[in-house]
Structure 1
Amino acid sequence: MKKVFFAIAIAATIFTGCSKDDDDEITRVPVEGEISGNITASKTLAYGNYTLKGMVKIQSGVTLTIEKGSTITADKTSGETGLVILNGGKLIAEGSADEPIVFTEKSKVAGSWAGIIMYGDAPIVNSATASAPQTAKSEDGLDLSYGGANESHNGGTLRYVRVEYAGQVITTNQKEHNGFSFYSVGSGTTLENLVSYKGNDDGFEFYGGTVSGKNLISYGNADDSFDWQDGWRGQANTNWFAYQTGIANYGVEVEAKSVNNAFWPKVTNITLKRAANTGTEAASEKQYDAFQFKAQGNGDFSNIVIDGYTSVETGFGSAVQIRDLATYTDQVLTGKVKLTNVKTSNTPVLFLSQNSGGVFTVNAASFGANWSTSTTATGAALTGGKWATVDGVNLLANL
């Protein structure tokens, strides 16, 4: 097992006196260091600038704490790089609005590293016949097992954390990374004020679990802004903002591994915006709906603003796409897909049926009371600061 090496070049903090109002002003000088190998003992990284090398894994029983204002920089020339919190390990990364903790990559090229990956043992459901608790193997190339019965699993606290240029895809559908990947993470974990910026895959992906995310920004990610599977069931999600620009697929992709679950996640205050002339990853796929439901995906969503999901070709592009007959029959018609207080603009097609598995027509009547429009929906409510600013660009300017 490798040891973690922290090369500290200068002192963590320097205190200088100041007579102003008899108070002391504190000048913090960043340390310089390197993070690599497995983290096998609990550590605190002082405020500083760190180079991340390789797939660094926080082991079970170990806590890594990162002080606010720190910057961690990956370098794709050193190979596959990411920060992995294994089940039983914890990451405490508590920044602030003006001193966020930033994970970035040296070249500033989308898809250059693996982002933050967290594992837990909260419940997943990916088979209608398997006995509980169910497990699965990760799709990140680490081939790690996730799933369990611990609904309150605690993987730590991530607050005011930004991940940039992640979403490394090594083998499609077999070895893919996102900005943030949460594998069966539990409700004891805190996820607040997080940004996934210009990655090459999904901004945020939940693989089952019970964790919730508050104040999330997915900006300029090339696949889906928000995505989940394996029966994710977070209940306290609020203030999600997606801005899709350049290349992007769905605003929100919802699936449940074809399992007709009796539960669903809940998200309030959502803004999904797609810039003009935004393309898709593959010309043959044309995936540019605000919401896509497939493989028995469901959910309760309210106070939603949708803008810019314009149909550029008949049969593609809408506010809400239902991909297959089973999802339409088992989820939409039974009230397990709820979209209420929805305001749309520059999105002429509200509903789209892809007719996989059989012919069906989805419309407002399909949802009954579980669909409602509004002219006063406000969507996400987020407060700016350095946490939501990259290279002088305010990520909330289009909110």
Structure 2
Amino acid sequence: MKKLRFLPIFVIAATIFSCSSDDDAPTTPPTGGPTLDGIIATQDDDDLIVADLKGNVTGNITLAASEDWVLTGPLTVKSGSTLTIEAGTTIKAKAGVTDVYLAVEQGAKIEAEGTASAPIKFTSNASNPRPGDWGGIVIAGKTPTNKGATAESEVAGLNYGGTDATDNSGTLTYVIAEYTGAKINGDQEFNGISLYTVGTGTTINNIAVFNGADDGIEFFGGTVSVENILCVNIKDDMFDFTEGYNGTLTNLFGVRESDFNDGTEDPRGIEGDSNGSNNAATPVSKPTFEKVTVLNLSKITALKAGAEIRRGTEAVINNLFFGTLNGASFGNRIDTKDDKGNGTITITNAVYQGVVGVDNLGGTITGTFTEDTAAITVGADDVVTVKAGVGADFSKFAWTNYTVKK
């Protein structure tokens, strides 16, 4: 009779593991293998770890939607490299650490192409997530800034600035960023998305920032135009620009919900600067906004202004709506006066409803607001709707599944 032979269990295990794909990123740091060096050069690099995502990307790397990525430190895409993030990917950031962020250097690219049915999501890994749990997304390009030939970013230490207005930093579309805004110190704090001199060759649209501890999205110079931006419960400014930003921003919807009880000392819907040290420094910030809605539904915290346009800025806003409910308020609708230099703004089709302050005429404001007491309606389940054609088109954000409630 033949005797059955049983292989030791460690031999079986070794055989099974040896059959796994070399292309799969490890879920935990390797043991007994090569020493990790913090550089992700190839798709099968030992440093590309699903549960410990961080390091310098020096090759063309893809983050697959099938993996449960956890961002645990700085992930920096180096010049000449491309980080691709598949549609439907979720990246959870380690909470409570100030150096957890995604950065894209000058000369590098991010290709984060989500879809309406499969957006890309950056969020916190905390069981009880809060604003400021992690940094955010920082991208640097090569267009001019009025801070000089080149400059260094407030966070992530990226060089930015240059002469190429058509610079291409890749694609960011159908992307959600939540619980961003980690604070390093009193002068350094991440925004949800920070764009440093990003050029027109870059494609950015369909962006949502929820529960940010600083600004929702900020442009530091740059020429990139962006369409469809949703900012919800942002502690500081919803939409911010400075340092000579020249682009067109279309369909912006910002809201503070009724139970929102947090905020900085001077939050605004839009904050626009050019250069506080030299208002004539070029390029001067001259953005155009098309279709903007800013709602404050919280009677606990007021917005200092619907828009503050200052320090040499020249802005145009077409189709603007400021609205309030629940006894909420704005300090001013538009403020153009500042001790470091006034601003200039032209508004057309500007509408307001509720208590939204007055216009501060310290600088130059061309155009006036019209009151429409029926611009906001509250329907079933306290769903808030803004009249069609007034301000932003909220239907463009259906992909987020977000609903404004009274």
Aligned equivalent of 2:206: 193
Structure 1 unaligned regions, length at least 5:
9-30, 281-286, 354-359
Tell me the alpha carbon deviations over residues 8-64 of structure 1, each in whole angstroms, 9 at most, x when there is no partner. Answer: 9xxxxxxxxxxxxxxxxxxxxxx9654211111101222132111101100111111
Match of 1:367 among 365, 368, 374: 365
CA distance in 2: counterparts of 1:209 and 1:310, whole angstroms? 38
Query: What is the CA-CA distance between 1:202 and the residue it aligns to?
Result: 0.2
> Would you say the 8 A contact 1:136–1:147 is kept in 2?
yes
Aligned equivalent of 2:268: 250
Aligned equivalent of 1:17: none
Task: For residue 170 of structure 1, give the secondary structure of its aligned residue in structure 2.
Answer: coil
CA distance in 2: counterparts of 1:87 and 1:297, whole angstroms? 26
Aligned equivalent of 1:152: 166
The change in CA–CA distance for 1:211 and 1:278 in structure 2 (over 3 A counts) is farther
Aligned equivalent of 1:340: 348
Match of 1:38 among 39, 44, 56: 56
CA distance in 1: counterparts of 2:43 and 2:161, whole angstroms? 36
Query: What is the CA-CA distance between 1:323 and the residue it aligns to?
Result: 2.7
> Would you say the 8 A contact 1:111–1:168 is kept in 2?
yes
Task: For residue 383 of structure 1, give the secondary structure of its aligned residue in structure 2.
Answer: helix
Letter in 2 for 1:80: D
CA distance in 2: counterparts of 1:74 and 1:101, whole angstroms? 13
CA distance in 2: counterparts of 1:372 and 1:318, whole angstroms? 12
Is 1:351 aligned to residue 363 of structure 2?
no
Identity %: 30
Is 1:293 aligned to residue 309 of structure 2?
yes
Task: For residue 40 of structure 2, give the secondary structure of its aligned residue in structure 1.
Answer: coil
Query: What is the CA-CA distance between 1:230 and the residue it aligns to?
Result: 0.3
Aligned equivalent of 1:18: none
> Would you say the 8 A contact 1:6–1:33 is kept in 2?
no
Equivalences for residues 303-314 of structure 1 within 5 A: 303-308=319-324
Aligned equivalent of 2:177: 163
Letter in 1 for 2:314: N
Query: Normalising by structure 2, what TM-score?
Result: 0.76
Tell me the alpha carbon deviations over residues 96-151 of structure 1, each in whole angstroms, 9 at most, x when there is no partner. Answer: 1121100001121110111100011111113xxx6xxx2222111x3332111010
Query: Normalising by structure 1, what TM-score?
Result: 0.77
The change in CA–CA distance for 1:98 and 1:6 in structure 2 (over 3 A counts) is farther
CA distance in 1: counterparts of 2:288 and 2:229, whole angstroms? 14
Query: What is the CA-CA distance between 1:378 and the residue it aligns to?
Result: 1.4
> Would you say the 8 A contact 2:140–2:197 is kept in 1?
yes
Query: What is the CA-CA distance between 1:179 and the residue it aligns to?
Result: 0.3
Equivalences for residues 29-108 of structure 1 within 5 A: 33-48=51-66, 49-77=68-96, 80-107=99-126, 108=129
> Would you say the 8 A contact 1:310–1:349 is kept in 2?
no
Is 1:233 aligned to residue 249 of structure 2?
no
The change in CA–CA distance for 1:81 and 1:275 in structure 2 (over 3 A counts) is same
Structure number with bigger Rg: 2
The change in CA–CA distance for 1:54 and 1:304 in structure 2 (over 3 A counts) is same
Letter in 2 for 1:271: T
CA distance in 2: counterparts of 1:135 and 1:36, whole angstroms? 27
> Would you say the 8 A contact 2:336–2:365 is kept in 1?
no
CA distance in 2: counterparts of 1:367 and 1:386, whole angstroms? 34
Task: For residue 276 of structure 1, give the secondary structure of its aligned residue in structure 2.
Answer: coil
Aligned length: 338
Equivalences for residues 261-280 of structure 1 within 5 A: 264-279=286-301
Task: For residue 43 of structure 1, give the secondary structure of its aligned residue in structure 2.
Answer: strand
> Would you say the 8 A contact 1:205–1:226 is kept in 2?
yes
The change in CA–CA distance for 1:263 and 1:225 in structure 2 (over 3 A counts) is closer
The change in CA–CA distance for 1:205 and 1:339 in structure 2 (over 3 A counts) is same
